[in-house]
Structure 1
Amino acid sequence: MGPVIYEIDTWPWLTGLGGVTLGEVPGTVWDQVAAPGIDAVWLMGVWERSPAGIAVARSNEELQRSFRDALPDLRPDDDVGSPYCVRRYRVDERLGGPQGLARAREELRRRGVKLFLDYVPNHVAPDHPAVTEHPDWFVRENGVIANGRDPYFPPWPDVLQLNAFAPGMRDATVAALSDIADQCDGIRCDMAMLLINEIFARTWGALAGPPPAQEFWPHVIGRLRERHPGVTLVAEAYWDTEWQLQQQGFDHCYDKRLYDRLVHEDAGSVRKHLSAGLDYQDRLIRFLENHDEPRAAATFPDGRARAAAVVVATLPGATLWHDGQFEGRRVHLPVFLGRFPDEQPDQALRDFYRRVVAAAADVRRGQWRMLETFGWPDNQSHQDLLAWAWDSAVVVVNFAGHPSQGRVPLPGAEVPGRAWRLVDRLDGRVFERSGSDLAGEGLFVDLPPWGTHVLVRE
């Protein structure tokens, strides 16, 4: 089963702890981070920030407006630079440098938690050493190195575009990833689909030169695995490229389609998405927010958010949670900023998420399968129920803003007479049911709007 990953926006997180470095984080804080059910921590944004990138950001009025929207009391030193405008893949000294990261990794390891870090394959900062030392690694446009971009949006003004077709750049990527893998257990690759040959050629045309015979990621990942066979690779992926990137060597890819359906669509749409084969689903990573998406508390109505959290927590594949999500933070902080705004934590929501994460660790065991739901002629609300089972658990979610009822056939209930004792791991309720009744009609479920059951058989 895929890991449960907790993303931390490293710089503002450390600021919120009083400005400590990674090597100075108190053990009690690591205890809280490494909560039951968390398998890995992704320290987002540890690499050296770019002074040149900061200068570009300070001259961009649109960015400055977004900074002031997030931090009305914005100070000049709050802009610490984008973590995706990387000057060097060395831990920023202001965050504790390589020694601080090594200490953080050891603290996590002692708690049985792995460490994930970032890599940005598509572009670098204007003051990255490769700009002057290896200009052949870059795309040139009108005689100068082009700004990084994807095929659908204007260029990013603070970064320079690497050429995925350049042999030297591919070799450098292997070396950089190998160095990162020496320092962690997993690597999240930013906008990984941009390096697929077809997408890169469509983005840059003749400026990139002819596409190589081999795809970028199989070349890079194959060589990386020779040195680091156990490192976990996660692709940020969009545009329905998830399966392709899985086949090219990634262990897990973002499931943005599920996110969009949970935000905007209904139970039928979610059910359709989950009908894909397990060979695909086991290698997706589910989420309700991350540093690129709006805060879940500001996006989902409260009941829908809780139902969606149970969905993503109990599906096959990997799960991604975001620092501040459990506490109900609502302000989406631009990644350039090194300080969070003051927000009052929602203790009840925090308790709910902790229960969900811990419960999911218990129920996600064995084989996963979707379950059918059934209604009766004058009540078809069962169509809004999502249901699936693990070996000793059943999850039912009413993904609708109205009460829903239905019957859910349970695996193993075909043996009449055996008594069933089902305990809801989220609220402790106990349901005693006759095996004969379950074998005949299935489990009757009556859930309030956005209600859930995470039932474990005892």
Structure 2
Amino acid sequence: MSVESRDKAAWWESAVIYEIAPISFQDSNGDGKGDLAGLLSRIDYLKWLGVDAVWLTPIYKSPFRDLGYDISDYCAIDHAFGSLEDFDRLLEALHAEGIRLILDLVPNHTANDHEWFVESSSSPASAKADWYIWADAAENGGPPNNWLSRFGGSGWEWCEARRQYYYHSFLVEQPDLNWRNPQVRGAIADVMRFWLHRGVDGFRVDASAVLIKDEFLRDNPPNPAAKGKPPPQRQTPVFTDDRPETMDCIEFIREVIDGYRGRMLCGEVQGKTDRIGHFYGNDRPRLHLPLNFALLDSQWDALSLQATIDAYFNAIPEHAWPVWIVGGHDKQRVASKIGEAQMRVLAMLLMTLRGTPFLFMGDEIGRKRVPIPPDRVHDPFERLVPGYGLCRDPERAPMRWDDSPDGGFTTGRPWLPLEPPDGATNVAGQRRDERSILALFRALIALRREHEGLHHGGHEPLRAQNDVLAYKRTDGRNEFLVALNIAAEPRKWHWLGRGRLLMSTHLDRPPEPLPDASILLRGNEGVIIALDPR
């Protein structure tokens, strides 16, 4: 089924979205790095799995100091990934299979070799002099204030040509754009239109909460909870992050995308759950889907999960569509946190909660963090701020397609090492196992698509008791119960009404009527029950 044949304004509400870091997905030419041709060769897998859209981390021209989030040309494909022609072929092939494509939009900063910054840094009189955040030195000749970079040290870097400092939220080589300048906004809008005209289905906005910094350059106060945290977290970034003016920037980006039918805008947001509602907007819309990592941050027990889910639903506006994420290129693998058995429970939770589910490549095979030797580290955070266990390379290691030494990813030396073969945590092995976690993800995606109550239905919480997290989904005609045993030991669970078992996370119980309104949940088991009509 083509994209066009099922297009509707809110396709993302029923979609399952799959994040791909192309450099680690599939290599086609033996250089050890994934590329667009490799991704094209794996579309059959994406179709088989059943995902509705893929989100790609940056594939633009870049020196690739930070996974491509340092962009030197927004409208060119980096040669390591291929060409614009390769991109067009990929987009056409995805659309032919009914799979939409979301690109990363990085509006906060560029690479320092982008032509915009080259011109801006050349002279205070250049045509783009005010395209970045520049400031004079303090009276002592040092940085203008105490703002820190997320990658360690001062957020300010001296430019001899201009005799001024420029600000960088991230690497020294990633200068921040000045979103107070209408020309910058217009340039980013032109970038969006370039890709929207090519047919992309939306953007994920990187670092959307930090687009504006305090115009008075006021110092950030110390963070009272800084003990044991890496140096960049030793301030409370009230003057650099989540400024009120940022919402105007997001509204501008939304206006651009709203000029195109059926396109979606999601975005990286910051702060606690109670702040996430602001990113939806009210009178002026902002993000369709502000990305929500609450499940990743929650303690993994029934009572904590119950509270996490309730707090999130209460934090978003009534008109807002929820979002749930269980993995990402910046987030530690959840399977390493909760274990293989509970990863199956998480799969059922993700695919049955009200809202759009996002997963990161490899989550569907229960992949854990891959050990990275010190001499193979690429992550600039780990190289510049080592010793805090926050290296992101273990999540970004190449996809393991089979049990061969290089995992079917490449014929060369992979850019990051893979975990040793174990016979189980790879796509080919799990495709042969009808009860694997990959089989579970696929079955859940199909079941979710089949029943409107599981994707567009309402959500009714039930009281979590005895380590069982439970809730009801309904579309007004059909009702479904979801019960998840968060414990490793069996738990008896009771409910009102009669029903039929649809699925167990163990994939070993056939769909069948239940003799009474109770079920013995095995350790680490979740079930979906369809209630009989009243």
TM-score by length of 2: 0.66
Code of the aligned partner of 2:523? P
Structure 2: state its 5+ residue gaps. 1-12, 120-127, 138-142, 156-169, 221-236, 371-391, 399-413, 431-435
CA 1:174/1:233 → structure 2, altered by over 3 Å: closer, same or farther? same
Deviation of 1:175 (Å): 1.5
1:187-336 aligned at under 5 Å gives the runs 187-195=203-211, 215-226=248-259, 228-240=260-272, 241-247=275-281, 248-261=285-298, 263=300, 266-273=304-311, 275-276=313-314, 283-327=321-365, 328-331=367-370, 332-333=392-393
Deviation of 1:91 after TM superposition, in Å, equals 1.3
Aligned to 1:398: 485
Name 2:195's counterpart in structure 1: 180
Q: Give the deviation of 1:430 after TM superposition.
A: 3.3
Which position in structure 1 is the counterpart of 2:417?
Answer: 341
Residue identity matched to 2:250: W
**Candidates 4, 21, 39, aligned match of 1:9:** 21
CA distance in structure 1 between the partners assigned to 2:154 and 2:486 by the alignment:
37
Indicate which of 110, 118, 129 corresponds to 1:132: 118
Aligned residues: 407
CA contact (8 A) 2:25 2:34 kept: no
Deviation at 1:29, TM superposition (A): 1.9
Partner residue of 2:125?
Answer: none
Cα separation, partners in 2 of 1:211 and 1:324, compared to 1, 3 Å: closer
SS class of match (1:95): coil
For 2:460, which of 370, 395, 403 is the aligned residue?
370
> Superposed, which structure 2 residues align to 1:49-198 within 5 Å?
49-50=62-63, 54=65, 82-89=67-74, 90-133=76-119, 134-142=128-136, 149=149, 155=155, 156-157=170-171, 158-183=173-198, 184-195=200-211
21 and 102 in structure 1: CA distance in 2 versus 1, 3 angstrom threshold: farther
In structure 2, C-alpha distance between the alignment counterparts of 1:198 and 1:409, rounded to whole Å: 55
Distance, in Å, in 1 between the alignment partners of 2:149 and 2:319 is 29
**In 1, distance between residues paired with 2:286 and 2:262?**
12
Q: Deviations over 1:114-141 (max 9, x none)?
A: 0111011111101011113323111113
Whichever structure has more helix as a proportion of its residues is: 1
Distance 2:16 2:299 in 1: 19
- Secondary structure of 1:386's match? strand
Of residues 41-50 and 394-403 in structure 1, the stretch that sits farther from structure 2 once superposed is 394-403
- Cα RMSD between the aligned structures? 3.8
- Residue identity opposite 1:111 in structure 2: E
Identity over aligned pairs, percent: 20
Equivalent residue letter for 1:172 = A
- Whether the 8 Å contact between 1:37 and 1:358 is mirrored in structure 2 is yes
Shift in CA distance, 452/140, structure 1 to aligned 2, threshold 3 Å: same
- Residue 59 of structure 1 is matched in structure 2 by none
Q: Which amino acid aligns with 1:11?
A: I
- Contact residue 261 and residue 269 of structure 1 kept, 8 A: no
Gaps of 5+ in 1: 55-80, 375-379, 414-419, 438-442
Q: 2:320 & 2:57 partners in 1: Cα distance?
A: 24
Aligned counterparts of 1:42 and 1:127: Cα–Cα separation in 2:
26
Distance change in 2, residues 1:235/1:211 (3 Å): closer
Q: Say if 1:214 and 1:271 are closer, same or farther in 2 by CA, change over 3 A.
A: closer
* Aligned amino acid, residue 352 of structure 1: L
Superposed CA deviations along residues 377-409 of structure 1, whole A, max 9, x for unmatched, are xxx52x632222233433211233443333233
User: Is the CA contact (8 Å cut-off) linking 1:285 and 1:317 kept in structure 2?
Assistant: yes
Contact 2:345 2:526 in 1 (8 A): yes
Aligned to 1:100, the other structure's residue is in SS state helix
Rounded to whole Å, the distance in 2 between the matches of 1:280 and 1:195 is 26
Q: 1:164 & 1:384 partners in 2: Cα distance? A: 47
Inter-CA distance 22–405: structure 2 relative to 1 (3 Å threshold): same
Structure 1 residues 22 and 110, CA, compared in 2 at 3 Å: closer, same or farther? farther
Task: Return the alpha-carbon distance in structure 2 between the equivalents of residues 199 and 245 of structure 1.
Answer: 21
> Per the alignment, do residues 407 and 271 of structure 1 end up closer, same or farther by CA in structure 2, a change over 3 Å counting?
farther
